[in-house]
């Protein structure tokens, strides 16, 4: 089992090196697909002997599919530039690499997020299982944002966490949600989603209730209420922007 670790990047110098350091031991190659960074991202990648390819960013699914094409090994570990491989996960991947036969075609991995100075244990953010170790010959990414890996094969689970050092602060969180909401709004219009006005009124408060109460965000303290409120705001934004697009195009 040889693994190509693939990472897409854009101006990640402040958090990229710990990502590379965490996966270097278990990677037979590291492939970086960069969207023309202007900081020291590529300089850091070169320190870890990464194979670097630059491609204009269109959407997350497309960028990650390019990474699959560039990876030379069939087994791929997909990481984001703000993620790290935990010690337990690394140890279990090393054990996998020592096996002569592999029954699975992909492995689900828990992702644990660090936000506002603490590890989030609820709020719909944990265990947040992601299909991140998989055979590329049986897989393809779909989706512009919150992309999803479609895998035609058997999926198992592997112990250990991907450690996610996500939004740098609340401002970064809001900025990113605002950026994503435009793409989500375009998808809503493209798919001709019905009852947009009703969704705009009903779904934001439902989103807050879902994250804060049903997903137990209340147990995450102040970060939990921030997650619920920003998620609710993001839901409102994507439908507001969808309504705006439809009005502008007179659809």
Question: pLDDT by residue (tens digit) across 25-71?
Answer: 999 999 999 999 999 999 999 999 999 999 999 999 999 999 999 99
Confidence of residue 100 (pLDDT cuts 50, 70, 90): confident
Question: pLDDT by residue (tens digit) across 185-220?
Answer: 999 999 999 999 999 999 999 999 999 999 999 999
Q: What does pTM read for this prediction? A: 0.90
Of residues 96, 58, 72, 95, the one with CA closest to residue 5: 72
For residue 238, what are the CA distances in angstroms to 136, 179, 186, 195, 245?
Answer: 32, 10, 9, 14, 10
Domain ranges of the chain: 3-165, 170-249
C-alpha span between 230 and 211 (Å, rounded): 10
CB 89 within 8 A of CB 159: yes
Cα atoms in the Cβ-side hemisphere of radius 13 Å centred on 87: 0
Per DSSP bridges, beta strands 139-142 and 148-151 are antiparallel
Confidence of residue 171 (pLDDT cuts 50, 70, 90): very high
Write down the pLDDT at residue 162.
98
Token reading at 3: 């693994």
C-alpha span between 17 and 40 (Å, rounded): 10
CB 234 within 8 A of CB 198: no
CATH architecture of the domain 3-165 equals Alpha-Beta Complex (3.90)
Question: pLDDT by residue (tens digit) across 107-162?
Answer: 999 999 999 999 999 999 999 999 999 999 999 999 887 899 999 999 999 999 99
Write down the pLDDT at residue 144.
82
CB 8 within 8 A of CB 78: no
Mean pLDDT, all residues of the chain:
96
Summarize the confidence of residues 177-190 as an average pLDDT. 93
């Amino acid at each position: 089992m040889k693994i190509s670790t693939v990472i897409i990047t854009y101006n990640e110098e402040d958090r990229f090196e710990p990502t590379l350091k965490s996966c270097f031991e278990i990677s037979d190659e590291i492939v970086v697909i960069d969207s023309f960074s202007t900081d020291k991202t590529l300089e850091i990648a070169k320190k870890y002997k990464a194979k670097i390819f630059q491609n204009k960013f269109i959407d997350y699914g497309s960028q990650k599919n390019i990474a699959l094409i560039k990876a030379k090994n069939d087994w791929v570990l997909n990481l984001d530039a703000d993620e790290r491989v935990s010690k337990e996960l690394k140890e279990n991947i090393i054990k996998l690499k020592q096996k002569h036969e592999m029954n699975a075609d992909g492995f689900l991995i828990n992702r644990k997020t660090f936000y506002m100075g603490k590890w989030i244990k609820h709020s719909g953010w944990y265990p947040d299982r992601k299909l991140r170790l998989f055979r590329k010959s049986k897989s393809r990414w779909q989706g512009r944002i919150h992309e999803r890996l479609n895998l035609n094969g058997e999926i198992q689970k592997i112990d250990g966490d991907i450690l996610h050092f996500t939004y740098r602060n609340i401002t970064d969180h809001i900025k990113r949600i605002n950026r994503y909401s435009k793409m989500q709004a375009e998808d809503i219009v493209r798919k001709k989603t019905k009852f947009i006005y009703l969704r705009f009124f009903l779904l934001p408060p439902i989103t807050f209730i879902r994250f804060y109460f049903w997903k137990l965000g209340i147990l995450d303290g102040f970060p939990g209420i921030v997650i619920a409120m920003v998620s609710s705001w993001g839901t409102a934004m994507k439908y507001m922007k969808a309504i705006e697009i439809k009005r502008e195009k007179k659809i």
